[in-house]
Amino acid sequence: MAAAVPLSGIFIAGLPMGKIVKGTELDLFVEKLAFGGKGVARIDGFVVFFDRAVPGQTVRARIVKKKRNYAEARTIEILSQSPHYTPPQCAHFGMCGGCTWQDIAYDTQLYWKRRHVIECLDHIAGVSEAGVEPIIASPQQYHYRNKMEFTFSPRRWLLPEELEGGDARTPEDLFALGLHVRGLFEKVFNVRDCRLQSPLCVEIVKEVRDWAEKSALPAYSVKTHEGFWRFLVVREGKNTGQTLVHLITSTHPRADEVAGALSGRLASRFPEITTLIHSVSDKKSQVATGDSSRVLFGPGCIEETLGDLRFRISAHSFFQTNSRGAEKLYDKVLELGAFDGSETVWDLYCGTGTIGIYLASRVKRVIGIELVEEAVRDAVENCRINGIGNCSFLAGDLKDVIRQASGLGQPDVVVTDPPRAGMHPKVVKALLEAAPRRIVAVSCNPASLARDLSCFLDRYEIQAIQPFDLFPHTPHVECVIRLDRRE
């Protein structure tokens, strides 16, 4: 083979540029991280994306997909290590689809998350980077998640130690409860370690897995849509020590009997579990929710505290995943709202009412809107728990009920915290018609945030942009932006 020839800082092992095809192996220098988390290298301006890369590494990569303007590659060997590399703590790193940035130093993670906010706002909304504040780090880098979802599967992805052990069984014979393999959503491996949620959560997962495998009932198959065991969700009050376990199964004549027996086992084994819910779902979609639910023990919910406030969280309710980071986020919303006590505030996509309740003592009135009825019930209960009487809530799809909110009071300030897809165009239109003097936009997706912002910039001016890291060791970044109406 010809010697490696340098080309614009990239090394190609004796291969002309025009001959790069699927299967070609290249030596590449990782320049940066793209939005979404992939590494980026260039060959005379031609972009190559690849997983499992740290900026500053030189890697040997194999092209797995070739397009006209870019290629995708898979790293097969690290030739020189990056100064931004840090050894991952989790034994499942590289296989798990969860914390894919765990081998990147935390300060480097923060740098690239802020850069991704800047790039999205610039490219999509034409917003200058000058106003983007330094990113606020998570108070905890590990064990910060208050909720994790785990999936049952009848076809386990074998761990390296299982393959080395020469297990004669095939994956079709192997029961699994764990997380999805990176890039393979239908594949599940048995979790034995996790640095995102607590050690208690991992022990609960192990216990449920062992017990369920011995139950003689099969795990649910995404191919045949048959099987009993579907999902296990563990939620924790990081500031209260309360733990909720949510078991989701398919319909079965023995469902109540089996779930009840497992509930008794967990109650005796883990006194830290304060409530357990069993839900049944026969939907084909792989979503960890139930069509019907029953409480097997405990109150059916847990509580979490943010500042001096207490919040009730049910099995299906949305709550910020990083409790201690959420408190910092809500403090910033309170600051950017610049409230004087006279305002009517709309809290859109309000979940269990956390943001609105957090603001309630500083404003005249809060009107919250949320799709999930169970979350709205929690929001009402959260007001009662905290002695708050100036909040009201509407349940329904925001695009359909937002105009009903006008009958309760026109907004002076609107706070939005939509899902990753951003706001529906009907919601954007209704907000422009309502014309609040200020909008505080919270988002977990800078791309959809930038798209939504572009609809408001003719009438509103950006006053502040504050990124937050609520998801260490992942590419995800939260952001809060204040918009003031142009007078």
DSSP labels, 191-241: -S--SSS-HHHHHHHHHHHHHHHTTTPPBP-TTT---SEEEEEEEE-TTT-
Helices 255-269 and 199-213: crossing angle in degrees, nearest 10, is 140
Structure tokens, 184 = 């393979």
Half-sphere exposure at residue 256, Cβ-oriented, CA atoms within 13 angstroms: 5
Q: Return the amino acid letter for 319.
A: F
394: Cβ contacts below 8 Å, ≥ 6 apart: 367, 368, 369, 370, 376, 401, 404, 405, 408
How many CB atoms are closer than 10 A to CB 49?
17
Q: Is 194 part of the annotated catalytic residue set?
A: no
The C-alpha atoms of residue 446 and residue 475 are separated, in whole angstroms, by: 11
Candidates 96, 99, 444, 479; catalytic one: 444
Q: Which residues have CB under 8 Å from 91's CB, separation 6+?
A: 192, 193
Other CB atoms within a 10 A radius of the CB of residue 5 amount to 12
| CA angle centred on 288, ends 287 and 289, rounded to 5° | 95
Q: Whole-angstrom Cα distance, residue 77 to residue 59?
A: 6
Neighbours of 284 (CB within 10 A): 9
The residues near 427 (Cβ < 8 Å, ≥ 6 apart) are 348, 398, 399, 402, 418
Alpha-carbon gap, residue 235 to 233, rounded angstroms:
7
Residue 113 DSSP symbol: H
So which residues are the catalytic ones? Answer: 444
